[in-house]
Structure 1
Amino acid sequence: MPLPLYLLAMAVSAMSTSEFMLAGLLPNIASDLDVTVATVGTLTSAFAVGMIVGAPLVAALARNQPRRASLLGFVLVFAATHAVGAMTTSFPVLFVTRVVAALANAGFLAVALTAAATLVPPDKKGRALALLLSGTTVATIAGVPGGSVLGALLGWRATFWAVGALCLPAALSILKGIPAGRDEDEATHRPALRAELAQLARPRLILVMLLGALVNSATFASLTFLAPVVTESARLGELWISVALVLFGAGSFVGVTVAGRLSDQCPGPVITVGGPLLLIGWPTLAMLASQPVALFTLVFVQGALSFALGSTMITRVLYEAAGAPTMAGSYATAALNVGAAVGPIVAAATLSTAAGNLGPLWASGLLVAIALLIAFPLLTAITADRSTEVLR
């Protein structure tokens, strides 16, 4: 894989740490800024909405700009918002910084996904995407637990400063590793924005975006509420929450790496094998959550299966949106973040049911089941496409 892909993954890791880190910082922020924990919780929603809206909007504004300049600008804006957030004593200001950070993150990921697809041969998009998304899994393994520890030791502001600092080497790497200027040949053959947006009328593109959103919503439904499963169902101490998150992140890294080697040439087996296993895994985890060994084992397995299936579906978005070369990454980003926003909402609604803190695990299973039912027409179409390619 080209060196620029690794540099982009470094930046994705820093940004993903910021996206996930608030889960362990909410009480400290609420106490420091004299607001309720529920009020601070709106920062997560603001970030998710900013990502969903920002992906296509910012990608459209940046489509005619050199990629290096766009990527560098997004990273620097992201770092600046964290510096302001670390210094402010006003919750409204902190809220605004999260929205701006989400817009910068969305723009960066949209451009990076598109850039990743152009840095490799057409049949290697899945591997390129897997490498890029590995930045997210690294954030889950190291960044998020590390941020929680740093926040506990030095306060939540130190975590914001740390994320901003992580962006600086990423910015330098982009400056040194991403070619300057625009690809004139690509610009010459680039479709008009209206033509790229018209791709959203294609049923297969909408279908793969929906599937990607459903799988990601199942992932975030359980990941968001994993802490009470560890402390209440398994009756373990709070330290074990970080262990569970690290295991989920490690599984995610394995899943996205393996799927990256399969999703280009044979996505069908990933869906037909990984999908049912993922479906079975969530209710099994709910039933065995009181047993720590089974809990941690299944957390690792579900992380691997979730990211294997999810990254495969997002790779299909890039393939289906081939007619939108500058906007395809934003469509994939929007699908990912619709899932990240919807999943926790669905999961939260189950907490007041008889299932209690295991409700999100059952909700994840339901979301995967819906995705698999919808996936059959897509799987048939993909298989037909592969057969046609062989005949050619």
Structure 2
Amino acid sequence: MPFPLYLLAVAVFAMGTSEFMLAGLLPDIASDLDVTVGTAGTLTSAFAVGMIVGAPLMAALARTWSRRSGLLGFVLAFAAAHAVGATTESFPVLVTTRVVAALANAGFLAVALTAATALVPPDKKGRALGVLLSGTTVATVAGVPGGSVLGALLGWRATFWAVAALCPPAAIGVLAGLPAHRARDDAHDGPALRTELAQLTRVRLGLVMLLGALVNAATFASFTFLAPVVTGTAGLGELWISVVLVLFGAGSFVGVTVAGRLSDRRPGLVVAVGGPLLLLGWPALALLAHEPVALFALVFAQGALSFALGGTLITRVLYEAGGAPTMAGSYATAALNAGAAVGPLVAATTLGTAAGDLGPLWASGLMVALALLVAVLVHAWPRPVALLARQESRR
């Protein structure tokens, strides 16, 4: 894989750390800026909304720029937002920086998904995306726990500065490894924006995006509420929460890596094998969460299966949206972030039921079941002849 791809993954690591790090920083932020913890929690919502809206909006804005210019602009805006956030004494300003950071994150990821596949041969898209998305999985393994430790030792502002400091290597990678003209040529010589947006009316593309959203919703429904399962159902101390989150992140890294090897040529195998296993895993975790050994093993397995399936589906969105060369990455980004936003909301409604802390795990199982039904529809829905011809030519 090209070295610039790994530097792009550094930026994805920084952005993934930023997206998830607030869970351990909210009490300190609330105390420092004189707001309630509940009010501080709106920082997470602001970031999620910015990600969902920002993916197509930023991709459309940047479609006439070179990919190098777009990615460089987004990574610098992301760094600047964290620098301002680290110095502000105003909570409204901090909220604004989170929205700006989310827009930059969404724009970067939308363009990077397309740029990463342009750095490799057409039949290596899945492997390229596996490298790129490994930045997110490493963030859950090292970035988020590291950010929490740094925040505990030096304050929440130090974590914001650390995220900003991760951006210059990515900027160097963008400048050194990407041509200045590629996206401009795609936008000028390729289809018009209206034509690219019209791809969203294709039923098969919509089903694949829905499938990706459901799998990601299931993933984040349980990931968000793992802490009470660890301390409540399993009866472990708070220090074990980080261990469980690291296990989930380690599994996700394995899953993305495996999916990168299979998602180009054997996507059906990943869905056919990984989907049912993922479906069985969430109820199994709910039933066995009181046993720490089973909890640890199943959390690792579910992380691997969730991200193997999710990584494969991102690749399929890019293939299905081949008629939208500058917008395809934004479609994948929007679908996955819609799932990441909706999943925890659905899971939260189960906490007040008889299922209690285990409710999110059962909700994840239900969402995966719905995803598998959608997968059947995707398999049955005919592919356009032009798409089939393009895919055959890549083999």
TM-score exceeds 0.5: yes
Question: Aligned AA for 2:195?
Answer: A
Superposed CA offset, 1:213-233 (max 9, x none):
000000000111111111111
- Is 1:109 the counterpart of 2:106 in the alignment? no
Give per-residue Cα distances to partners, 1:165-211, cap 9 Å, x unaligned: 11122222222222333467545531100000000000011101001
Instruction: Give a deviation string over 1:27-81, Cα, whole Å, max 9, x none.
Output: 1111111111111111111111101101001100100101111111111110111
Identify the residue that residue 317 of structure 1 maps to in structure 2. Answer: 317
Counterpart residue number, 2:144: 144
For 2:291, the aligned partner's letter is: Q
AA in 1 matched with 2:152: A
5+ residue gaps, structure 2: none
Offset at residue 7 of structure 1 (A)? 1.5
CA, structure 1 residues 155+184, in 2 after alignment: closer, same or farther (shift >3 Å)? Answer: closer
How far off is 1:384 after superposition? 11
Checking the alignment, whether the CA contact within 8 Å between 1:6 and 1:132 is kept in structure 2 is yes
Amino acid at match of 1:308: A
SS of the residue corresponding to residue 64 of structure 1 reads coil
- State the alpha-carbon separation in 1 of the partners of residues 2 and 353 from structure 2: 49
Contact 1:33 1:90 (C-alpha < 8 Å) held by counterparts: yes
Query: In structure 1, what is the Cα distance between the partners aligned to 2:311 and 2:184?
Result: 30
2:84 is aligned to 84
Q: Which moved more, 1:81-90 or 1:103-112?
A: 81-90
- The answer to whether the Cα contact below 8 Å between 1:141 and 1:250 also exists between their aligned partners in 2 is yes
Partner of residue 40, structure 2: 40
How much does 1:354 deviate? Answer: 1.0
% identical aligned pairs = 78
**Corresponding residue number in structure 2 for 1:4:** 4
Question: Residues 320 and 387 (structure 1 numbering): CA distance in 2 closer, same or farther, change over 3 Å?
Answer: closer
**CA distance in structure 2 between the aligned counterparts of 1:253 and 1:184, rounded to whole angstroms:** 33
Distance 1:287 1:310 in 2: 24
The whole-number CA distance in structure 1 between the counterparts of 2:383 and 2:77 is 43
Residue 157 of structure 1: CA displacement? 1.0
Is the 8 Å Cα contact of residues 126 and 262 (structure 1) preserved in structure 2? yes
CA RMSD of aligned residues (A): 2.0
Q: CA 1:382–1:230 in structure 2 vs 1: closer, same or farther (change >3 Å)? A: farther
Judge conservation of contact 1:268–1:383 (CA < 8 Å) in 2: no
For 2:184 and 2:49, the matched residues in 1 are separated by 34
The amino acid across from 1:218 in the alignment is A
Aligned to 1:162: 162
Alignment correspondent of 1:275: 275
> Kindly tell me: are residues 194 and 76 of structure 1, through their superposed partners in 2, closer, same or farther at Cα, counting changes over 3 Å?
same
Alignment pair present for 1:241 and 2:241: yes
* 1:302 to 1:174, Cα distance in 2 relative to 1, 3 A: same
Equivalent positions of 1:129-208 (< 5 A) are 129-182=129-182, 186-208=186-208
What is the Cα deviation at residue 288 of structure 1? 0.9
In structure 2, what is the Cα distance between the partners aligned to 1:236 and 1:56?
A: 42
Q: Work out the number of aligned pairs and report it.
A: 392
Q: 1:241 to 1:184 in 2, by over 3 A?
A: closer
In the alignment, structure 1 residue 286 sits paired with structure 2 residue 286: yes
Which residue identity is paired with 1:140? T
Report Cα offsets for 1:71-102 as digits up to 9, x if no partner.
11111110111111111111111100000000
AA at the equivalent of 2:148: S
Whole-Å separation in 2 of the counterparts to 1:37 and 1:117: 41
Q: Which residue of 2 aligns with 1:363?
A: 363
Which residue of structure 1 aligns with residue 19 of structure 2? 19
Q: Secondary structure at the match of 1:89?
A: coil
Q: With structure 2 as the length reference, what TM-score do the two structures score?
A: 0.95
Q: Is the 8 A contact 1:288 1:294 kept in 2?
A: yes
1:123 aligned to 2:123?
Answer: yes
Task: Find the aligned partners of 1:281 and 1:234 in 2 and give their Cα distance.
Answer: 17
For residue 245 of structure 1, report the CA deviation from its aligned partner. 1.1
Structure 2 counterpart of 1:98, one-letter code: R
AA aligned opposite 2:334: A
Deviation of 1:387 (Å): 9.5
- Rounded to whole Å, the distance in 2 between the matches of 1:185 and 1:146 is 41
